[in-house]
Amino acid sequence: MSEQPASNPAPAPHQRRPRYSGKNPRRFEEKYKERNPQRYRETVAKVLAAGKTPAGSHRPIMVTEILATLAPQAGETAVDCTLGYGGHAQEILLYLQPGGRLLGLDADPLELPKTEARVRALGFGPESFTTHRSNFAGLAQVLAQNELTGADLILADLGVSSMQIDDPARGFSVKHSGPLDMRMNPQRGQSAAALLEKISPTTLATLLATNADEPNADTLAPALTGKKFTTTSALATAIRTELPRLNKDTQDLTIRRVFQALRIAVNDEFSALETLLRNLPACLNPGGRVAILTFHSGEDRRVKKAFEAGLRDGLYADIVQEVIRPTAEERNANPRSAPAKLRWARRSV
Ligand SMILES: C[S@@+](CC[C@H](N)C(=O)[O-])C[C@H]1O[C@@H](n2cnc3c(N)ncnc32)[C@H](O)[C@@H]1O
């Protein structure tokens, strides 16, 4: 076959649009308009106005409050430990210019290149913005590899992104069935399905209670262990079957808590957070600021304790007094912001 001359590339093969029944698409794969915001601005605006997150994107939470606490200045060095869609990063980057830079870390090798391309397209070149496929537990190593002794501001927005939750193929979704995976980095570690197959009932009961305060942990654990649940919906059905006397809303809440507990275990989230909290003071420049957004009590408790201990030990000069919550407007506009809690600390000079 002859090659096409560079100036006349072969046209891209025509791809059929996914067909769906009803007025609006329901499945992630059908939401091709939401996943192409450049081309379908109106569709995306409608989804946002309805208080929803367009498929394949993530709405940054408490941006105003985070900018106020981190106070980014021109020329400073920032680290976003949880780059995600780059929503917070792109706002912070504006304040770092001229002369500043932001390092964006994320464990997810699938979303990271897309976010890099999106932030580049906004005009941030490699001198001001770099991405690093790394767990934030390795923040100190990332700084050292980049010949930095510390950062002026550090942000961590914990948990998973909307891109990860909403894509059934990632296996986090309670709403749409997909393989029971839940790994932020699908190239490492074991999936939630593999974990359930191997774990003992006693260990699972402890994990459900510790990671999600699950009141039905002892009933659920024996029913969910030693089995092969290949899909998220198979696991949800097993949870419902085991708790027939609960009404549908309480069953749904239980399913969410079990999914949260498994996700935390699969990604070793508490241990990564504890390592980050331990290393933070040494990763901040004198006077540097850190802000952490948490989404459940297990995370918030750890952040609160670490900041209080850092203040007592003189590592931090100041920490937040009252936890900061999203405004009522934000909670209405973006219900995913509702559980968020923001805490900050400032390193001593
Ligand atoms: C809530 S999202 C961040 C959204 C981001 N602030 C934005 O505005 O687009 C959390 C992100 O952190 C990543 N993540 C979670 N735990 C991590 C860890 N221990 N190390 C690195 N990345 C992590 C997830 O893969 C996900 O992309």
User: What backbone phi and psi angles, to 5 degrees, belong to 287?
Assistant: 80, 0
Looking at the chain, the number of H-run helices and the number of E-run strands are 14, 7
Tell me if 300 CB under 6 Å of ligand 1. no
CA angle 155/261/189 to nearest 5° reads 75
**pLDDT for res 294:** 98
- H/E stretch holding 283 reads helix 269-283
Mean pLDDT along residues 85-98: 97
202 CA → ligand 1 middle, Å: 30
Mean pLDDT along residues 72-85: 98
6 or 67, which is more confident: 67
**pLDDT for res 313:** 98
pLDDT of residue 7 exceeding 60 = no
pLDDT in tens, 24-59: 666 666 656 666 666 666 666 666 666 667 667 779
**pLDDT for res 8:** 47
13 CA → ligand 1 middle, Å: 34
Tell me if 88 CB under 6 Å of ligand 1. yes
157 CA → ligand 1 middle, Å: 6
Region of poorest pLDDT, from 10-14, 24-28, 272-276? 10-14
Region of poorest pLDDT, from 34-38, 100-104, 196-200, 245-249? 34-38
Q: Which residues 6+ apart lie within 8 Å of 236 measured at CB?
A: 174, 255
Domains of the chain, earliest start first: 63-162+269-347 (3.40.50.150), 185-266 (no CATH)
**pLDDT for res 307:** 98
